[in-house]
Amino acid sequence: MAKSEIGAASAVGCQARMKRLHSTQVATSACSRTKPSVSVKDVTTSNKDTLKDQFLVEHMNDCRSGNMVDLHGKGITKIQKLERLPGVKILDFSCNSIEEIENLENNCEITELKLYGNNIRQIKNLDRLQELQILQLQYNRITSLRKGLLKLRKLQRLRLDNNLLICVESREFSGLSQLTSLDISHNQLTDITAVNGLPCLEELLASHNKLCGVVDLSRCNKLQELDLSNNRISEVQGLSLLETLTAVDLSGNCLCSTECLGSLCSLQELNLADNQLKSVCSFSEQFPNLDVLNVANNCIDFREELKSLTQCCHLVELHLAGNITATSEEEQTRHLVEISLLMPQLESLDGVILNPSNNERQDSAVIQKTALARAALESTHKIASCLMDFESQMEDLQQSLAERFIQVKNLVESLPKQLPWRPLYTTVSGRLAPMPCYGSRPQTRCSSRSRIEEARSFATQHFRKK
């Protein structure tokens, strides 16, 4: 929810490096154009201005890419008067040494202006930029807003973090009716009641200020994300009226209880670390749809409060470290195991992964399906290879059978057409006449019984046992 700092040291280093480069260029130019009638100081100043004008005029097209002109970190100390830049929507003057906003009135079509990482002290000369939607002024030296933002009626995102703001007033925000995101973190503000005059505000980042006591945000009806961390707040009023609020960061404050927050049915993420809370008994009723909860480094005794916390059935990420839970490491481990058993839906406890999230499960299922598909594909390739081998073997077998058939055919054709021996039987008058080998067999036409007797006697006579 809170934006990461882009690094003040990096911006300062960028400025110092570009200053050294610019000084070298100026010195070289001065040495090459020195005239006897002009002092060295005058020559240096003249060449410095000439270099700036020459850079902006001749190299403007080189710095343009599509609808953007990128002059980031070019060592510019003053915005020279720019001609109208047709089609340009984004103008980047970030990480330079600019002290004053000026000479932008010819570019009324700009929708995004980047001036972060400069030495700007006052917001002014932006009235003509009626189409401006995004304005980045972080990491400057701005102490107050005054009337600098009154005419920017289409502005949607404004960054003023890491400046020297002491206070903001409602009238200074009166023209920002379309503003949805405001970052005023890392300043010296003691009161932010003025943000109640922003009817469309959805994201408010006001961490690392000097807010103390009671903060009232009852009129920010569309607020979704709120970061008030690292202040001195003891109570926040009006949040129960914000039905769209989904993420709240109140870590590093002086809260003793959560009664002031009221009931937040839409809240999904809540960070209350580093406060003075003693109980979480009402959380299940106050925040019924909470997914992520951080109550680390408070004064909560979870040996007594744990059962009430288990009623937050939607919790998937929980941070409890730094409370009154146990003394020895064994007791702490036992306590964590107890929590994981009582809250089986938890995926992370104090940074320890307990159960994989739904996305991880889906990824695991996808990986498993992919592995199965790969295995099936490999099996298919193996089957196809086996089929090809089988077809090759069948072709070889067919060829072998054809060769053998030809051999048999040739063998049959080579056999003689007449038999080399005489048959045992010859045909007499159209029927076969037997040629006896063991003598003549009696011919008879008697009955079957007499024929049997004759056969027996014939057998006894010719096939007698020896």
Q: What is the pLDDT along the chain (466 residues), one digit of tens a residue?
A: 444 443 444 444 444 444 444 443 433 333 333 333 333 334 344 455 545 544 554 566 678 888 999 999 999 999 988 888 888 999 999 999 999 999 998 889 999 999 999 999 999 999 999 999 999 999 999 999 999 999 999 999 999 999 999 999 999 999 999 999 999 999 999 999 999 999 999 999 999 999 999 999 999 999 999 999 999 999 999 999 999 999 999 999 999 999 999 999 999 999 999 999 999 999 999 999 999 999 999 999 887 888 888 888 899 999 998 887 656 777 777 877 888 888 889 999 988 888 765 555 555 555 666 666 677 777 787 888 888 888 888 988 988 998 888 888 888 877 776 666 555 544 444 444 455 554 555 555 556 777 788 887 877 776 655 4
pLDDT value, residue 415? 74
- Alpha carbon distance 436, 178 (integer Å): 132
Q: Quick check: 111 and 135 in contact, CB under 8 A?
A: no
Q: Quick check: 156 and 179 in contact, CB under 8 A?
A: yes
- Chain CA centroid to CA 150, Å: 38
- Alpha carbon distance 231, 250 (integer Å): 8
> E strand or H helix at 91, and its extent?
strand 90-92
pLDDT value, residue 26? 36
pLDDT value, residue 224? 96
- What is the number of other CB atoms lying within 10 angstroms of the CB of residue 341? 10
Q: Quick check: 75 and 18 in contact, CB under 8 A?
A: yes
Domain with CATH 3.80.10.10 in the chain: 211-361
pLDDT value, residue 463? 66
Best CA proximity match to 217, nearest among 209, 208, 205: 205
With a CB cutoff of 8 Å and minimum separation 6, the contacts of 27 are: 44
pLDDT value, residue 381? 77
Q: Name the token pair of 15.
A: 């400025």
Residue for token digits 């129960």?
Answer: 240
Q: Name the token pair of 221.
A: 């009806």
Q: Which CATH class for the 211-361 domain?
A: alpha beta
Crossing angle of helices 40-58 and 8-32, in 10° steps, is 110
**Fold held by 9-141:** 3.80.10
Residue for token digits 């073997």?
Answer: 393
Residue for token digits 């009023």?
Answer: 237
Best CA proximity match to 169, nearest among 145, 143, 137, 199: 145
Q: Supply φ then ψ for residue 406, to 5 degrees.
A: -65, -40
pLDDT value, residue 361? 53
- Alpha carbon distance 370, 366 (integer Å): 6
With a CB cutoff of 8 Å and minimum separation 6, the contacts of 118 are: 93, 94, 95, 96, 97, 98, 99, 139, 140
With a CB cutoff of 8 Å and minimum separation 6, the contacts of 34 are: 40, 43
pLDDT value, residue 464? 58
- Alpha carbon distance 53, 101 (integer Å): 17
With a CB cutoff of 8 Å and minimum separation 6, the contacts of 67 are: 87, 88, 89, 90
